[in-house]
Structures are given as C-alpha cells and as structure tokens.
Amino acid sequence: MKTGLQVGDTAVIQTEVTPDMFAQFDGEVVHPAYSTATMVYHMEWASRKLILPYLTSEEEGMGASVQVKHLAPSCEGEQITVTATITEIRPKSILTHVSVTNEQRQVGEGHVKQAILLKEYISKQLTAKQ
C-alpha cells in the first residue's frame, strides 16, 4: 500500500432507500424497509472507498469479515448516511468501524475487515477453484 492512510480517516456514502433495497428473499419482499444485506453492502463500499487511493497497481482489497448490528428500520425515501472510519491498519489488512444513520436515528453499526492482497495471488486462488 502507498503511504498516507491513517487511523481516523473516514469515507461517507449517502443514499436514499429504494424498493430494490428492501428485505426480500427469492424475489418476495418480506419488509418494505432497508435490508441488512443492503446495509452490509454499503458498509463494505464505504470501507473500500478508504483504501482505493492507497492501493498499488499490483494490489486489491478483498472483504475478509463483516460484523453488523441492524438497530432500527428505514423506510422507502429515507436518506441513509454510511460512515466508515479506520480503526486499525495492519500490514495486510485494514479495519474500519462503520455507522449507518437516517435522518432520525442510528440504523446500524459494525466492523469491516479488508484484506490487502496481491492481484496475482487473488487470480491464482480463483483459477485454482475452476
């Protein structure tokens, strides 16, 4: 990784809850509200935004773990803000704390770990699976 990334750095994603973000299984909407699966996606995305400027051309970030608490619902049309903050920088991984809020309250929180790997290593791992 390039130098410059620091504990405390943040990245933010803002979005509006839409029907494609609802909790659904096998195409059937269970709850017309922001789903945990979508929250995890947004948490990973905000965390990834932090590392992108610091990856070398030989490196890639890959999700290694996500811990999430879904604390409150958000309905269609509500604005969501996802804020990822770096809590630890390790030689081969980056850890973030992520907070998800809407206009009224905290919707979720969690932690994301991204492994920093060589693209060549990732390619070999994927090829070995085929």
pLDDT in tens, 81-122: 999 999 999 999 999 999 999 999 999 999 999 999 999 999
In this structure, is residue 38 part of a structural domain? yes
In terms of DSSP H, where are the helices of the chain?
36-51, 119-128
Domain that holds residue 16: 10-128
CATH code of the domain in which 39 resides: 3.10.129.10
Strand partners, 19: none
Element (H, E) at 70: strand 59-70
> 23 in helix, strand or coil?
strand
pLDDT value of residue 77: 97
Give residue 89's pLDDT. Answer: 97
End-to-end, the C-alpha distance of the chain in Å comes to: 29
Is the distance from CB of 64 to CB of 113 less than 8 angstroms?
Answer: yes
Q: Is residue 111 part of a domain?
A: yes
Per-residue pLDDT of 15-57, as tens digits, reads: 999 999 999 999 899 999 999 999 999 999 999 999 999 999 9
Residue with tokens 């890639």: 60
| Spatial separation of the C-alpha atoms in residues 41 and 109, rounded to whole Å | 13
pLDDT at 130 over 90: no
Lowest-pLDDT range of 5-14, 65-74, 117-126: 117-126
